[in-house]
Amino acid sequence: MSDRLLVLVRHGQSEWNLKNLFTGWKDPDLTERGCAEAKEAGSRLRAQGLTFDVAFTSALTRAQHTLDIMLKEMGQSGLPIRKHQALNERDYGDLSGLNKDDARKKWGEEQVHIWRRSYDVPPPGGESLKDTLARTLPYFVQEILPCVLRGERTLVVAHGNSLRALIMVLEKLTPEGILARELGTGVPVIYRLNADATVASVLDLAS
């Protein structure tokens, strides 16, 4: 009986999270707090007695740095890592780099809220959550899921919206349900899958 373990972790706090900026595909690094969150995530997984066979992350520094800190904390720094932009954060287009309060002043509270919280309305030049799903899911199905189903214990460190895409499929959530789902920075979510890729159990390690 193979383990079929899949752990998802959103990167630790980034410099632009701290400054309340839309980040998307921009590439700031972690803050001190973000590094501490990554270390804590590794510590929590180690406390669960978990080790991994393979890890996936995005093409962005904040996710890669989080993964590196976690693996060091778990004593698994030599783990094979696959990096791909399919796991990147949602592209916020013209909003990228803007302060969220300044964006509200420019376009109005209601419009910015629609861009941030609707399922299929993209910001100018950017992606909706639906677009992010269309980019992320094929990579998950073709590259990540086969590893899990083969019994390779798999760690994915990525971003709030790219991980929501995976969670939407795993937990069979509606567009409304996934929009309401909050993902804390540096908080591991542990899935064990059945042979047919349905979820046997899920454990959120939020403190």
Q: List active site positions.
A: 11, 89
CA-CA distance, 129 to 122, in Å (whole number)? Answer: 8
Q: Are 42 and 69 within 8 A, CB to CB?
A: yes
Q: How far apart are CA 25 and CA 27, in angstroms?
A: 6
DSSP state of 142: I
Angle at 94 between CA 96 and CA 126, to 5 degrees: 90
Bridge-based pairing of strands 188-193 and 199-204 is antiparallel
- Residues contacting 198, CB < 8 A, separation 6+: none
Q: Which of 49, 58, 81 is nearest to 147 (CA)?
A: 81
Rounded Cα gap, residues 174 and 168, in angstroms? 7
